[in-house]
Amino acid sequence: MAEIKDIVLIYLEDDPVSFARIEDIVPDHKKDWFQIRLLMLQVPLQVVTWILKADYINGETFSMNGKSMRLEKVAAPVAPFEHDNLSETSPENGKDIESPETDNPPEKNKGKIISFSKRKAHKNGQEP
């Protein structure tokens, strides 16, 4: 079953109409039905609650106001790593993902700190 935080594509009459993120799924008072709260990813953002069976949450077609509807779980496509000879690095720190931590990190590029008040005074022709 699609789970909380999953992104789904909503189809109306077999045409994709909107994306939504599943915010919550709780059992309804009717047996085998669930209240599914969706954040509609559109402008403006809107939260809706639909009451659906597990099969409908998993992609089976259902009717709403006489129109056929369907939810399809969306998975991010896996892009092949373009440069096979390069190792992957972590975007947080730029370090090699597979290399162990060392006690001597490489020297970071140390920049010059400039005071905004001094820069403003210099721009206006005043002495800092």
Q: What confidence score (pLDDT) does residue 13 get? A: 97
* C-alpha–C-alpha distance, residues 49 and 44, integer Å: 16
Task: List, for the chain, all residue ranges whose pLDDT scores fall below the cut of 70.
Answer: 1, 81-110, 118-128
Residues 6+ apart with CB under 8 A from 57: 1, 2, 25, 34, 36, 71
Q: According to the model, what pLDDT value does residue 85 have?
A: 59
Domain borders along the chain are 7-74
Task: Name the percent of the chain lying above pLDDT 70.
Answer: 66
> Residue 15 has what pLDDT?
97
> Which neighbouring-strand residues pair with 13?
none
Residue 106 confidence (pLDDT): 57
Q: Are 51 and 27 in contact (CB under 8 A)?
A: no
> What is residue 10's predicted lDDT score, i.e. its pLDDT?
98
For 39-76, what is each residue's pLDDT tens digit?
999 999 999 999 999 999 999 999 999 999 999 999 98
- What 3-state class would DSSP assign to 7? strand
Q: In what order do the strands lie in the sheet with 62-64?
A: 46-53, 33-40, 15-27, 7-12, 67-74, 62-64
- If you write DSSP's letter for every residue of 6-33 in order, what string do you get? -EEEEEETTEEEEEEEEEEEEE-SSTTE
Token pair for 54:
């597990």
